[in-house]
Chains A and B, each alone.
Chain A
Amino acid sequence: MKAHLGTIGDLLETAGRMSGHTFHWVDGAGAQACGGLTKADVCRLAKETDGTGRAGCIEAEDGNWACGVPVTAEKGERSLLVACASDKHRGGRDCPTGLLQLLVTVRQLIEERCEAAEESRKQAEELNQAYEDLHLFSQICTQIRSLRFSRTVLRDLLQEVRESMRAEMAAATFDGRAEDKLQIACANIGGFVPDAERFLDELASEMPRSAPVMEDHCFIVNCSSDIPVFRNLHSAPFRALAVRIRSGDQEYGWLMMVSFNMKEVFRRGEYRLLRTVAEQMALLMANSALYSDLELFVINLVKSLVMAIDAKDACTKGHSERVSEYCMRMAAALGLDEKQRTALLWASVLHDIGKIGTPEVILNKPARLSDNEYDCIKTHPAKGAEILRPISQLKDALPAIRHHHEQYDGRGYPDALRGESIPLLARIIAVADTYDAITSQRAYRAAHSHAEAMRIILEGAGSQFDPRVVDAFYRTVCGGRVAFDTPPAAGQAAETAKQEYAGVRQ
């Protein structure tokens, strides 16, 4: 009532000027003094008009008289429109006709104004809610843009929806997942729900069984105390909304809202919003699953390719994987970025793929190679890059594959590149590849020790290898130490070994 006084004040004043009385609009029930009337006067006047809806007339304590009509405004709240006369003349028991007409007219105006104000307030409220929804949608759109469904994205999303719906709990459950089965966003409700996980888990399984169906795959409990199974879940009444997260025939889980605030209800708009969020989530999960499938397919394909190389040479079994492992450790030490690391991962695993085209007789020959045979071996880096060229996703890995047998001093192959003109990823693979070749058994010799391999690599820093990469290798693979755990080989033997491994037969 107070909210409208400002606008209605003018109205009362005008009516007062027209009639020569003073007009007041007062709360009928709580009776307050007004004009020359005391609280008791107003009470009496209110009582006279009570229930009849008609005008009342009293003689006030100060001897003046006053008339009033009941006003119904603002959700039936009782109030009183009073006209106080300033003279002691009393025109009989009833309200004078002219004044009565004025009172009724003013009452009508007040009621209309209140109604309009109420209408406008409702509209403003709806607009407010529409703004909240719109804001939420724009937030969700931003989050849904990411291709992968991460735990943080999901939690933020739940938190956002929960706040917007003014619920205390929001949860998403996922069928058939051991890990991340349940994601929860909770308001700060202290120990009100001691075991939130269990509560939500039970709710998720009970909703489709026992809750009234709204539409396909949507369930609502407006008051938990009306349904025994839900009443047993928590001693305090709550309301819950559950929507299936599904895309096509694929079902992923449930999206749920729970609120213990029973003064409010779930509105249509909120329900629609929750459905939309669930749909978007399902799409995202479907995308995510497709993406994972595709990624797994590629990884398995590459594994098969690697196995194809391994099958040709029993001695090199596991070589590609080990080289890759060393490379990735160096990548971390060298501070490579995500893109470079991905390229290095593929390049290191596939660096020997070109050996598919090398005859097994040569690969497994237990003796020194002839010049021709050696030339044949030397074609494998370029061949490897050629084999993989059609796979555009691997294009960043190709230079590393092609050049992994180049040497820092320019004596390598196939292009005799030198120094920094050799791609960094190729320089990294060169070190890892050499180390693993030396420490593995070969058709023509036994495996050498870690110490020998390290000696050769350290000696090759600056000539065969990039010293910076050797340093990274030294730090990461050896854990910062060179373990000369076996006595160094005799000078001559070491020299022979060094020549042998200088890019010839790895």
Chain B
Amino acid sequence: MRSHKTILVVDDQVAIRRAIELKFSIAGYQVISAADGEAALELIRSRQPDAVIADITMPRLDGRTLCEMTDGIKKDRPFLTVMVTARISPDERQWIQQMRDTLFMEKPFSPTRLLEAVDNYLGVSA
């Protein structure tokens, strides 16, 4: 049941955030969003989302730091993080592999694939 799951979308670009929000809300998920890493961290703590979709390059708190800071939380309450980025950096995949329940997607990503990945992790189907 998608309606019982909450997805947090974190991106400082409002258009991309809206696009992802729409994709997931049409699919039936509860969607919350944040424009930077700090706000995201707070929402992760207060709203306990089931999946977080975040950009790596963000103001205030970047995606990598966000990931590292939430990695500990996942020990007790696992949730999925999908890191989305347009940045080309060879070590990106490496540090992401070290993180619990974290996927990596390159921009341009397919919103459908993104939805599939989240569905898969949460074990829900359309």
Contacts and interface: CB of A to CB of B under 8 A. Distances in A.
Nearest to B23: A128
A135 B23 contact: no
B18 A135 contact: no
Q: Is the interface of A mostly helix, strand, loop or mixed?
A: helix
A131 B18 contact: no
A187 interface: no
A365 to B, nearest CB: 66
Given A124-B22, A128-B22, A135 B15 contact: no
Contact of B108 (A3, A123, A124, A138): A138
Interface magnitude class on chain B: 10 to 19
A164 B22 CA distance: 18
A138 B105 CA distance: 13
Interface string B70-110: 00000000000000000000000000000000000000111
A135 B110 contact: yes
B112 A163 contact: yes
B111 interface: yes
A128 B111 contact: yes
Contact of A124 (B15, B109, B112, B113): B15
Nearest to B108: A134
Given A124-B21, A125-B22, A128-B23, A135 B16 contact: no
Interface string B14-44: 0110110111010000000000000000000
Contacts of B21: 124
B38 to A, nearest CB: 23
Nearest to A137: B108
B21 to A, nearest CB: 7
A120 interface: yes
Contacts of B110: 131-132, 135-136, 164
Interface string B38-55: 000000000000000000
A131 B111 CA distance: 7
A135 B110 CA distance: 6
Contact of B18 (A124, A136, A138): A124
A114 to B, nearest CB: 16
B111 A120 contact: no
A447 interface: no
A125 B22 CA distance: 7
A388 to B, nearest CB: 42
Contacts of A148: none
A3 B19 CA distance: 16
Contacts of B18: 120, 123-124, 127
A131 B109 contact: yes
A132 B111 contact: yes
A468 interface: no
Contacts of B19: 124-125, 127-128, 131
A443 B81 CA distance: 79
Nearest to B21: A124
A329 interface: no
A209 interface: no
A465 to B, nearest CB: 48
A135 B112 CA distance: 10
Nearest to A163: B112
Interface string A114-132: 0000001101110110011
B114 to A, nearest CB: 9
Most buried by A among B15, B19, B21, B25: B19
Given A123-B15, A124-B15, A131 B22 contact: no
A32 B111 CA distance: 36
Contacts of A138: 108
B108 A135 contact: yes
A257 to B, nearest CB: 17
B116 to A, nearest CB: 10
Given A127-B15, A127-B16, A121 B109 contact: no
A163 B19 CA distance: 19
Contacts of B22: 121, 124-125, 128
B15 A131 contact: no
A11 B16 CA distance: 27
A180 B21 CA distance: 43
Contacts of B112: 132, 163
Interface in A102-158: 120-121, 123-125, 127-128, 131-132, 134-136, 138
22 contacts: A121-B22, A123-B15, A123-B18, A124-B18, A124-B22, A125-B19, A125-B22, A127-B16, A127-B18, A127-B19, A128-B23, A128-B111, A131-B19, A131-B108, A131-B109, A131-B111, A132-B110, A132-B112, A134-B108, A135-B110, A135-B113, A163-B112
3 tightest A-B CB contacts, nearest first: A134-B108, A135-B110, A127-B19
